[in-house]
A and B are shown apart, each in its own frame.
Chain A
Amino acid sequence: MKGYRKYFGKKIIWFLITLVVAVILNFVLPRLMPNDPVAAITGKMAQGVTDASASQRIYEKYQEEFGTNKPMIEQFFIFVGNLFKGDLGTSFSQYPRKVSDILASSLGWTIALQLPAIIVGWLLGNLLGALAAYIRKGFDKVLLPMALFMSNIPAFGMAVIMLVLFAVKWKIAPTSGGYAYDMIPNFSWDFVKSVIAHYQLPFWSIVLISIGGQAVGMRSMSIYELNADYVKYARFLGIKDRKIVGYVFRNAMLPQVTGLAMSIGTMIGGALVAEIIFSYPGLGSTMFTAISGGDYPLISATTLIITLMVLVLSFLLDIIYGFIDPRVKAAQLD
């Protein structure tokens, strides 16, 4: 158990160091952009103001309010201080809305869209990869190349193709939004149906492009395992094929689990495009508007969420790996 304690201790220290660096980068990088969001807000507010000194006053007022007239290091400590209080600041682009308020309303949609999409894509991909390795024939010759082809279509391309085909041309799916344009959210079967209908296109556009990548990995791992000595030995022993396949896939799965954790961590960035194209009200759309509006607090907050998700998941994964595969722990301790 002592080995484990040392292993975990080391992991936690590295986790904390990475976190600190990540928070610093999250703060600094957006602020290195050449634009001045306070100027952008002032520009909006000063429309129609013909007295030039008045727009100067508006500018100074917002500078004061956002603290952008303070040195960056001071701003950073204020940012970190507020972070501990759970205050992510006020958005520039949606001023005076609180960043936490914006995230709260969009995070649910993103998780609801992406988590199932990633899991389904992962499951289907692994299944396809495994079948391609084991059965070969049609799976290896037709389905796998097709999946590979689709996974190489860029995310925005896939979303646009689906939008044009299913929504614009054949009119069997809605064009945009999270629910029907003529509905008010409520707890009714009609509304649920509308949510599900609007869910389809963004969901499948994410699933389809993730199948191929997962399948390739799974296929090669499976082929490697199928030719391993223990498989041959098991066959000699007369163990049933089904049982052997079970062992093979369990072993082949190990690296795939890492892939799953990673894709969950990066889901906001990864499928951002699908959300934008379908005007889906999630974090992807939020991040897109934040970046194009130079909205530092909102950019910092969304990237911080992504960073935290990746960090926590890879940390958990390291811990779990330590348990399920002692070799990893041993290797890392060396």
Chain B
Amino acid sequence: MKKFTALLLTAAITLTGMMSTVSVLAEDVQLPREETLYFGGQQWGTVNSYNPIGTNQNNAMATTPQLIGSRTLMFETLYMYNFLDGSLTPLLADGDFAWNDDLTEMTVKIKDAAKWSDGSDVTSADVIRTFDIGVEIANGVGTGYGPYIDSIEAVDDKTFVIKAAVTEDGVPVNPLKVNDFLSAVLIAQAGWIDAVCERNNNDPTAIMNDAAEDVVWSGPYTKYFDDDQKVVLIRDDNYWGQDASMWGKLPVPKYIAHTIYADNAATEVAFKAGEIDVDQQFLPNIQNTWLEEDLPISTYMEEAPYGVCLTMPTAWYNMNNPVLAENTALRKAIAIAVDYDTIIANAMTNQSPSFADVPRSLMNPTEGEQALYDHEAVADLQWAGNDIDGANALLDEAGLTDTDGDGWREYNGEKISLNAVCPNGWTDWMAAMEVVAAAGKNIGVEITTLFPEWDTVQTVFTNPNQTEYDIFMWSPDGAGPSMPWGRVRQFLDGDLAGIENNWTGNWGQYKNDRATEIVKQIPLTSDPEELKALYTEAIQIYLTEVPSFSLMYRPAVFHAVNESVWTNYPEEGDGRNIPPADCTDGYGIAALYDLELVG
């Protein structure tokens, strides 16, 4: 009996201990289900700040600047990017921006109605200060746009001019990156930035790590609650965007909540249970959730591939390996021997168009990008895969034959033996690499798979002199105002070869002078025909030289919704042109204004 009492006591003490770690903040202790939109797959750890100028923060819902459209729930960009058609819709900005003729100056206006949460106007000074502080403290804005923007100058309170950085010849370094600035950079208030600098004695690290408890925002939501298990934003009913010049109303959900789950599996369980409305994660065979499990789950498209694919995970050849660098035939043979249909059916469970549907190039499958090159001119160079005979013929022709009869081909008397690498636990990628290895076996080239942890993989392939990985898998960027140029650059820019800690692109260290020149020319070309010719030529080089080969198409963000509480999410062909960007990213946020309750 004594023991039982002791046990009860222990339980009581620990429970009290647990309760005492819990803080009480908010008035509403139970979030009304019919006023709350739940998210999954975006926030993976306790949020560390609400600081819009701190690059180190992990607060996915409040501050995620990104090329495919920044998340504008709490802080806002000048324009909202729409990856469906590549358009930029004004948010803080008023109307279209205007370039001068030589692409060195861009004029942008700010909406009269745009206000901060403290009631003051959003002005040119805020945009200027956001850029300037970025350069001063070298945050993401400074390092990302400093090389392309020389300065931003105010014309008046609501008008400013972005002066592009120019080369010695007076041509702009890259006008496309200035376009990125418009839709990716979250604007912070100049007055608040001054206060943060002052309290941190202008120390860059301290400024970026500031928790920003007192932050001023311009977006429709603000912080409400966060702990180890969730983060909740609450609608700001004074949001300026209800002005007729913007949305004309408030977003529908009062609360935006994201539970922090341990992993994909836990997120999936919660999504199926209806505890998550909008889920940003890859769910294999997602169609089974409605076909077999009869759950009210849906995706942007009713049929495969279910979502909009924006990127293409790619196998990169390491040109530091002489066998690969010296044998274009070997690179091409492996690439045409791979059975892509198997990868797409198994690894992606058909959530990717096939290479027969969308022939390989440097473009993602969106209509906008597909229209940018001459399909006929490259048709002969494209391949759909599983061409074992063709691959064998290529290798035989190139003299890469099996001379000692062991079943494997040799080069300079040595067996060709390669490894194929991708991060451990990325199961769809691992499956893809196994298919690549199987293709090797079919053509007499030994390919063994290797799956280190993801940060090891990244550490190795960003080293320009690495010889550890022969074929490794990584994704180029998806969409954004500077795409597809940015992606072409990632695949072909010889200037990126040899750079230490290179996270930017060309991880295979491929060098081709003409390709590098094209990468430089594209941003300075505005004539559509000329642009098309350049892109076509780049694709021809890429498909002939095969410095890498894409394995599948893939969405940049996954977007699945459980319609047990909310409905009227964007769907293909609904005429609204809202991208399936989780109701939060870029123009995808427009979905929040259209949501309806079920029933």
| A46 interface residue per 8 A CB criterion | yes
A95 and B208 CA atoms in complex are apart in Å by 11
Known contacts A175-B270, A195-B18, A276-B263: does B38 contact A45 (CB below 8 Å)? no
Cross-chain contact A61 with B269 (CB below 8 angstroms): no
Chain A residues whose C-beta falls within 8 Å of the C-beta of B260 in the assembled complex: 279, 281
| B520 interface residue per 8 A CB criterion | no
**Residue of chain B at shortest CB distance from A111:** B14
Cross-chain contact A279 with B458 (CB below 8 angstroms): no
Cross-chain contact A56 with B501 (CB below 8 angstroms): yes
Residues 244 to 287 of chain B near chain A (Cβ within 8 Å)? 257, 259-263, 265-266, 269-270, 272-273, 275
| B512 interface residue per 8 A CB criterion | no
| A84 interface residue per 8 A CB criterion | no
| A192 interface residue per 8 A CB criterion | yes
Cross-chain contact A50 with B31 (CB below 8 angstroms): no
Cross-chain contact A294 with B453 (CB below 8 angstroms): yes
Chain A residues whose C-beta falls within 8 Å of the C-beta of B489 in the assembled complex: 50
A50 and B140 CA atoms in complex are apart in Å by 11
| A73 interface residue per 8 A CB criterion | no
| B291 interface residue per 8 A CB criterion | no
Interface residues on chain B, size class? 35 or more
Chain B residues whose C-beta falls within 8 Å of the C-beta of A256 in the assembled complex: none
A278 and B21 CA atoms in complex are apart in Å by 20
Chain A residues whose C-beta falls within 8 Å of the C-beta of B23 in the assembled complex: 185
| A257 interface residue per 8 A CB criterion | no
Q: Name the contact of A106 in the complex, choosing from B11, B65, B225, B228 (C-beta under 8 A).
A: B228
Cross-chain contact B503 with A46 (CB below 8 angstroms): yes
Residues 82 to 108 of chain A near chain B (Cβ within 8 Å)? 93-97, 102, 104-106, 108
A237 and B298 CA atoms in complex are apart in Å by 79
A51 and B22 CA atoms in complex are apart in Å by 44
What total count of A-B pairs have CB within 8 Å? 226
Cross-chain contact A49 with B143 (CB below 8 angstroms): yes
A165 → chain B, closest Cβ, in Å?
A: 13
Q: Name the contact of B504 in the complex, choosing from A52, A188, A278, A281 (C-beta under 8 A).
A: A52
A34 and B266 CA atoms in complex are apart in Å by 29
A298 and B273 CA atoms in complex are apart in Å by 33
B494 → chain A, closest Cβ, in Å?
A: 12
| A163 interface residue per 8 A CB criterion | yes
**Residue of chain A at shortest CB distance from B205:** A65
Chain B residues whose C-beta falls within 8 Å of the C-beta of A294 in the assembled complex: 453, 455
Q: Which one of A9-17, A35-43, A132-140, A306-314 is at the interface?
A: A35-43
Residues 20 to 39 of chain A near chain B (Cβ within 8 Å)? 34-37, 39
Cross-chain contact A35 with B456 (CB below 8 angstroms): yes
B122 → chain A, closest Cβ, in Å?
A: 23
Chain A residues whose C-beta falls within 8 Å of the C-beta of B525 in the assembled complex: none
Chain A residues whose C-beta falls within 8 Å of the C-beta of B595 in the assembled complex: none
Known contacts A168-B269, A184-B29: does B452 contact A34 (CB below 8 Å)? yes
| B500 interface residue per 8 A CB criterion | yes
Cross-chain contact B269 with A167 (CB below 8 angstroms): yes
Interface residues on chain A, size class? 35 or more
| A182 interface residue per 8 A CB criterion | yes
Residue among A35, A163, A181, A276 with most chain B CB within 10 A = A181
Chain A residues whose C-beta falls within 8 Å of the C-beta of B147 in the assembled complex: 51, 54
| B24 interface residue per 8 A CB criterion | yes
**Residue of chain A at shortest CB distance from B32:** A182
Cross-chain contact B501 with A277 (CB below 8 angstroms): no
A91 and B14 CA atoms in complex are apart in Å by 27
A176 and B228 CA atoms in complex are apart in Å by 13
Cross-chain contact A51 with B227 (CB below 8 angstroms): no
Cross-chain contact B229 with A178 (CB below 8 angstroms): yes
Cross-chain contact A182 with B30 (CB below 8 angstroms): yes
Known contacts A52-B496, A65-B205, A181-B275: does B458 contact A43 (CB below 8 Å)? yes
Chain B residues whose C-beta falls within 8 Å of the C-beta of A176 in the assembled complex: 259, 261-262, 266, 269-270
**Residue of chain A at shortest CB distance from B174:** A50
| A75 interface residue per 8 A CB criterion | no
Residue among B3, B19, B38 with most chain A CB within 10 A = B19
Chain B residues whose C-beta falls within 8 Å of the C-beta of A187 in the assembled complex: 19, 22, 24
A195 and B263 CA atoms in complex are apart in Å by 21
Cross-chain contact A184 with B225 (CB below 8 angstroms): yes
B424 → chain A, closest Cβ, in Å?
A: 9
| A288 interface residue per 8 A CB criterion | yes
| B324 interface residue per 8 A CB criterion | no
A252 → chain B, closest Cβ, in Å?
A: 15
Residues 219 to 234 of chain B near chain A (Cβ within 8 Å)? 225, 227-230, 232
Cross-chain contact A184 with B25 (CB below 8 angstroms): yes
Known contacts A54-B146, A182-B30: does B453 contact A119 (CB below 8 Å)? no
Q: Name the contact of B18 in the complex, choosing from A45, A109, A180 (C-beta under 8 A).
A: A109
| B356 interface residue per 8 A CB criterion | no
Chain B residues whose C-beta falls within 8 Å of the C-beta of A182 in the assembled complex: 30-31, 33, 36, 257, 275
A42 and B462 CA atoms in complex are apart in Å by 11
Residue among B31, B33, B266, B496 with most chain A CB within 10 A = B266
Known contacts A51-B143, A52-B496, A276-B263: does B455 contact A116 (CB below 8 Å)? no
Q: Name the contact of A190 in the complex, choosing from B15, B30, B55, B148 (C-beta under 8 A).
A: B30
| B138 interface residue per 8 A CB criterion | yes
14 extra interface residue pairs, beta carbon distance < 8 Å, beyond A116-B11, A175-B266:
A36-B459, A39-B459, A39-B501, A50-B486, A57-B138, A96-B208, A109-B18, A163-B269, A176-B261, A184-B29, A185-B24, A186-B24, A190-B30, A191-B22
Q: Would you list 12 pairs from A and B whose C-beta atoms are within 8 A, ordered by A residue?
A: A35-B453, A45-B56, A49-B143, A50-B174, A50-B489, A56-B500, A56-B502, A96-B48, A112-B15, A179-B229, A185-B227, A187-B22
